[in-house]
């Protein structure tokens, strides 16, 4: 079963671009919510991410993963691939 991957981004955010590049390299489809300047969308994201307002915020099957550094840390620890084949 393919996991549901969602990522909240800003279009010119270097961390957002880096996180999406990792998912792209792994061939993972994801839903991107580009929230440039949309405060209502940012509030929705913060509600899902336990108050975190920094970007990106990444979710896999509704589980909050965190930001770019968190995603890359999971990959370095060899835990990300298992989450992406749920």
Q: Which domain holds residue 22?
A: 5-83
The total number of structural domains that make up the chain:
1
Q: Phi-psi category of 54—alpha, beta or left, where left has phi over 0 and alpha has psi -120 to 50?
A: beta
CATH code for the domain of 11? 3.40.30.10
The predicted structure's pLDDT at residue 86: 61
The predicted structure's pLDDT at residue 1: 73
pLDDT in tens, the chain (86 residues): 789 999 999 999 999 999 999 999 999 999 999 999 999 999 999 999 999 999 999 999 999 999 999 999 999 999 999 999 86
The predicted structure's pLDDT at residue 2: 86
Spatial CA neighbour of 9 closest among 65, 84, 67: 67
Strand partners, 31: 6
Alpha helices by DSSP H, the chain: 14-25, 39-48, 68-76, 80-83
């Amino acid at each position: 079963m393919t996991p549901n991957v969602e990522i909240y981004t800003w279009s010119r955010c270097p961390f957002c671009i880096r996180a999406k590049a990792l998912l792209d390299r792994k061939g993972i489809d994801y839903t991107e919510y580009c929230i440039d300047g949309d405060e209502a969308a940012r509030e929705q994201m913060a509600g899902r991410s336990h108050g975190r307002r920094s970007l990106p915020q990444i979710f896999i099957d509704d589980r909050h993963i965190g930001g770019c550094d968190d995603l890359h840390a999971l990959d370095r620890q060899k835990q990300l691939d298992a989450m992406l084949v749920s």
